[in-house]
Amino acid sequence: MGDHAPDGEPPPPEVEPAGRVITTDGLTKDYGAVLALDSLDIVVGEGVTGLVGANGAGKSTLIKILLGLLAPTRGRATVLGLDIAQHGEAIRRQVGYMPEHECLPPDVSASDFVNHLAQMSGLPRAAARERTADVLRHVGLAEERYRPMGGYSTGMKQRAKLAQALVHDPRLVFLDEPTNGLDPAARDDMLELVQRIGHDFGIAVLVTSHLLGELERVSDHVVILDSGRLLRSSATTEFLDSTGTLLIEVVGETGTQDRMGQALAAAGLPCWPQGHLIAVDTTRATTDRDVHDVIRDTACDLGVGLARLQADHRRIEDVFREGGDHVLPTS
């Protein structure tokens, strides 16, 4: 594929407002027996966006529609400012796709496979070879790149799938369950890679998982699907709003934590032990003074060292527990 739009495709329109990479408007996919997407309105920006939902929520269907591989039943969507109904090829030239299921030819090495796809995307032979070596190094497959992929571990296969999604230097990548089948250490490595792609390489990322906990760690924004409907779309920081609780860690001999707790309570700060920390409920404080000043002065009066003083943040999964029915697995 080259830089020119193929015959039959209208010229690309003006790009969308800055920072907006995906917009959907009433997007619906009815498979007949299943309504996989139900009037979905979402906006995805630069950076890393986590697309979360239980099995069957519609994550893969959404990605395939955005790539122009599947037609929606109703509704519209744009990717990088291009309408999916008219510009499928132009979208696929600028977007990388790591599919959910295994798609690697077993007798081919990662190096040959990725190099082949790089040339298919229009890169000249020498540039394709260079990009292939770079991208395999970035995903951590440098050593094994000449071995047939049929002998790869699940972690290596996921890395090879990721490499082919990045080789043509896309502006946006869709990563469909990149942590699937990985052990905890490999999962952490993959999540770190996803974050680097979004932040260091400057490629917008839409990454799916059914685990809220892992996407919370790497996403700037989280979109949550529930049976094809949008449950919530927020900046990750909004999920992590402060609860109004402060956590304090004190240093000193045995009993220091109890003494500090009693003194804080006497100073008008309701508190309770939480492991080796003291939790202070600032929303029920009965002092007019700044809570941080009261804590500092109390520690000073007792001759106690303060090792830590921080706001307690809710995690996304806690937001869901409070929400009632929509509890998703988190680990």
Ligand X SMILES: Nc1ncnc2c1ncn2[C@@H]1O[C@H](COP(=O)(O)OP(=O)(O)OP(=O)(O)O)[C@@H](O)[C@H]1O
Interface residue list for Mg ion (CB under 5 A)? 59-60, 100
Are the C-beta atoms of 222 and 239 separated by less than 8 Å?
yes
The only residue of 93, 131, 157, 210 in contact with ligand X, by rule CB under 6 A: 210
Fill in the amino acid letter for 260.
M
**Contact flag: residue 56 with ligand X (CB under 6 A):** yes
CB of 100 to Mg ion, least distance (A): 5
* 31 binds, options Mg ion, ligand X, none, Cβ within 5 to 8 A by partner type: ligand X
CB of 234 to ligand X, least distance (A): 19
Pull the structure tokens for residue 177: 């369950």
Q: Which is nearer to ligand X, 56 or 252 (CB)?
A: 56
Q: Is 36 helix (H, G, I), strand (E, B) or coil?
A: strand
Show Cβ contacts of residue 263 under 8 Å, excluding neighbours closer than 6 positions. Answer: 298, 301, 302
Burial of residue 131 (CB within 10 Å: 0-12, 13-18, 19+) is buried
**Contact flag: residue 83 with ligand X (CB under 6 A):** no
Q: State the alpha helices, DSSP H only, in 222-290.
A: 236-239, 256-266
Q: How many CB atoms lie within 10 A of CB 296?
A: 13
**Contact flag: residue 65 with ligand X (CB under 6 A):** no
Distances (CA, A) of 149 to 62, 130, 161, 168, 242: 28, 20, 11, 20, 46
CB of 154 to ligand X, least distance (A): 16
**Contact flag: residue 36 with ligand X (CB under 6 A):** yes
CB of 59 to Mg ion, least distance (A): 5
* 170 binds, options ligand X, Mg ion, none, Cβ within 5 to 8 A by partner type: none
Backbone angles phi, psi at 29, to 5 degrees: -130, 115
**Contact flag: residue 50 with ligand X (CB under 6 A):** no
CB of 16 to ligand X, least distance (A): 25
* 56 binds, options Mg ion, ligand X, none, Cβ within 5 to 8 A by partner type: ligand X
**Contact flag: residue 161 with ligand X (CB under 6 A):** no
* 53 binds, options Mg ion, ligand X, none, Cβ within 5 to 8 A by partner type: ligand X
Q: How many CB atoms lie within 10 A of CB 178?
A: 24
Binding site for ligand X (CB under 6 A): 31, 34, 36, 53, 55-61, 100, 210
